[in-house]
């Protein structure tokens, strides 16, 4: 394939994705009044299960509670972001909560609730190592949000071997 043809194909694909995703995001944003929309909660729980593998409790009950706490902290983080950043996050999350957006941006066929952690990790790796800067940026944002929100809770520090701040 010639370079010019590849560029045209990329631009056309990007335009279709932008139109389809933009329409879907307008209909179903990822944030509603600065808070996670109901559809965004399974997204972040699934991302947490994949990204935090090895740091989450192994038992199902404690793991579910840890993921619920993560989602609540992501919600609190979203509420405290500047409005322009909230708008960008809402677009990203809204797009990922649609089947076409999830397939095109993340490369994940099953829904977030149905996807196994290894499928989500593979999708995240696809974003992380993508040739498209947009997919890389989306990965970085999701990874930082999940990691930052999870480890902002003091009870998670011991997994990292972090004793906490020094007493002054």
For 132, list phi and psi in degrees, rounded to 5: -90, 125
**pLDDT tens-digit map of 8-58:** 667 766 666 666 555 544 457 899 999 999 999 999 999 999 999 999 999
**pLDDT tens-digit map of 77-135:** 999 999 999 999 999 999 999 999 999 999 999 999 999 999 999 999 999 999 999 99
Domain ranges of the chain: 35-156
Strands (E), 37-166: none
Class of residue 141 by CB neighbours under 10 A (exposed 0-12, middle 13-18, buried 19+): middle
- The first and second tokens of residue 38, run together, are 């109901």
For 65, list phi and psi in degrees, rounded to 5: -65, -40
């Amino acid at each position: 394939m010639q370079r010019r043809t590849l560029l045209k194909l990329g631009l056309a694909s990007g335009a279709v994705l932008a139109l389809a995703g933009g329409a879907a995001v307008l209909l179903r944003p990822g944030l509603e009044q600065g808070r996670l929309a109901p559809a965004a909660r399974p997204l972040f729980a699934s991302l947490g299960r994949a990204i935090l593998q090895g740091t989450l409790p192994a038992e199902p009950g404690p793991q579910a509670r840890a993921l619920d706490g993560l989602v609540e902290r992501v919600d609190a983080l979203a509420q405290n972001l500047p409005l322009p950043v909230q708008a960008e996050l809402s677009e990203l999350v809204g797009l990922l909560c649609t089947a076409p957006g999830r397939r095109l941006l993340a490369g994940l066929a099953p829904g977030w609730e149905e996807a196994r952690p290894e499928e989500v990790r593979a999708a995240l790796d696809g974003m992380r190592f993508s040739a498209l800067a947009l997919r890389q940026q989306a990965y970085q944002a999701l990874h930082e949000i999940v990691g930052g929100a999870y480890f902002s809770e003091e009870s998670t520090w011991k997994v990292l071997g972090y004793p906490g701040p020094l007493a002054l």
